[in-house]
Chains A and B, each alone.
Chain A
Amino acid sequence: MFEYNFHWRPVFRSLPDLLEAALTTLQVASLAMTVGVLLGFILAVGRMRETGVIYWFATTWVELARNTPALFQLFFFGFGLGALGLHLSPYLIVLAGLTFNTAGYLAENFRGGFEAIPSTQLRAARSLGMNPLQAYTRILIPQVMRIVYYPMTNQFVWVVLMSSLGMLVGYRELTGETQFFASKTYRIFEYFAVTAVIYYVMVKVILVLSKVFASRFFRY
């Protein structure tokens, strides 16, 4: 009945290539996360205005990012823009898609974080003579960071995993690379099993590091 013979040797031979692709995954995910944090922050501030062009722009972004499949968002930057004559490289398609999605999710986290802080904190800071920039950077944002830290960690994990969609737009990140070897050697199960382990280890390391950083940063 069960006649499949496992052949692990090809997988182990291409392990260096897979690990290199894992670094590619981490690299594109980190960049998408970093830009996503900045854009998400700007979108959150835009959403807090509650009216005007900026509000509607930010709201549309957030709604699309959160309520359509991430894959479609990637395809938009690939085939969608391609149809309009703008051809991005696979790397840029993945980066743009992940960033768009992440910024949308984080914007809502950040907005929730700001709303969780009593308005009296801002008033107290201003009454000490702090200007708005000082009040935000020294009083409000550190508290928001504390609130959104673990949601942000989860989002980063999600970005790492979601970057596997890159395979579908021809990007050789970890999943793309795995697919390349798997179809060359027909050892499909073996390759994807090993790659699953690599993803698992990456995510665990991220979660542990996140805990370590948290115990350093948040002393209260």
Chain B
Amino acid sequence: MIKVNGLHKYFDDLHVLRGIDLEVQKGEVLSVIGASGSGKSTLLYCINGIEQIQEGSVYVDDVDVHSKATDLNKLRQRLGMVFQQWNSFPHLTALENVALAPQIVRGLTKAEAKDIAIKQLEHVGLGDKFDVYPNALSGGQQQRLAIARALAMDPQYMLFDEATSALDPELVGEVLDTMRVLAEEGMTMICVTHEMGFARDVSDRVAYFHEGVVEEIGSPDQIFVDPESEHTKKFLAKVR
């Protein structure tokens, strides 16, 4: 379970997260929607400890993410993260991209890491691209590579930060399909997304972010069909 309590985050004077309370249960898919600049990415970064926080707490299972005693490198093996910019490592083949971290972070043997990489690349539909370098892959393929790379760490949670926003429209579908498969397999996911169709179909719950707070959270029907907040209504009217 991911548990966020009274979280405040500042960038210098800029108060970006203004008291976030959030729980994500095992197996749950939570979509986070909201205007750009409302703090969605920052929340994900606070959950895996890329950004520090000024107040409140974040727990991943029993681990206090922002405690000094926490080994963040170990924690991050439990939290797969996929960014908006596809970050393939250009000097490594697809297979090496996926196998590297299992080998040097998880400490698996080369052969074990390779087996996992093969499995995860096939999982995301890149079974014919093992020896290809990222510059020969499309944006959608590179983003699926990034997903396979995260999955190879055998994470308990996956955090997606607008995984499809930087893609050409015709490539969005293949990445969303991959995320859908993960959701069906029971992966616990937090998906920051602008894809309202995806949020509605795949999520167990949807959170609407407004200026650093969770303005409204509930089932997809509740948020998309029957929102309570005026801010939510306005936002949804705009994105439709």
Interfacial residues, chain A to chain B (CB-CB below 8 A): 118, 120-121, 123-131, 134, 138-139, 142-143, 146, 218-220
Contacts and interface: CB of A to CB of B under 8 A. Distances in A.
Interface residues of B, number: 26
Given A130-B73, A220-B135, A124 B87 contact: yes
A135 to B, nearest CB: 10
B59 interface: no
Contact of A127 (B50, B85, B133, B135): B50
Contacts of B105: 128-130, 134
B101 A128 contact: yes
B135 A138 contact: no
A131 B76 CA distance: 11
B91 A129 contact: no
Given A121-B89, A124-B87, 4 more contacts: A120-B87, A127-B83, A138-B100, A220-B91
Contacts of B76: 126-129
Interface stretch (B14-22, B146-154, B190-198, B210-218): B146-154
Give the one of B85, B91, B133 with max A CB within 10 A.
B91
Nearest to A220: B133
A128 B83 contact: no
Contacts of B90: 143, 220
24 contacts: A120-B85, A121-B89, A123-B83, A123-B87, A124-B87, A124-B89, A125-B89, A127-B76, A127-B150, A128-B101, A129-B77, A129-B101, A129-B105, A129-B106, A130-B73, A130-B101, A138-B100, A138-B104, A146-B91, A219-B133, A220-B90, A220-B91, A220-B133, A220-B135
B48 interface: yes
B81 interface: yes
Which 4 pairs of residues, A with B, have the shortest CB-CB distance? A124-B87, A128-B101, A127-B81, A220-B133
A118 B149 CA distance: 19
Nearest to A117: B90
Interface of B: 48, 50, 73-74, 76-77, 79, 81, 83, 85, 87, 89-91, 100-101, 104-106, 133-135, 146, 149-150, 153
Nearest to A127: B81
Contacts of A124: 83, 87, 89, 146
A129 B146 contact: no
Contacts of A142: 91
Nearest to B75: A129
Contacts of B77: 128-129
B83 A131 contact: no
B87 to A, nearest CB: 4
A146 B89 CA distance: 13
B48 A127 contact: yes
Contacts of B133: 219-220
A123 B50 contact: yes
A128 B91 contact: no
A128 B75 CA distance: 10
Contact of B104 (A126, A127, A134): A134
A114 B149 CA distance: 23
Nearest to A124: B87
B149 A128 contact: yes
A177 B148 CA distance: 61
Contacts of A129: 73-74, 76-77, 101, 105-106, 153
B147 to A, nearest CB: 12
A125 B85 CA distance: 13
A123 to B, nearest CB: 6
A126 B90 CA distance: 16
Nearest to A141: B91
Contacts of A219: 133
B90 to A, nearest CB: 6
B150 to A, nearest CB: 7
Nearest to B103: A138
A127 B106 CA distance: 13
Contacts of A220: 90-91, 133-135
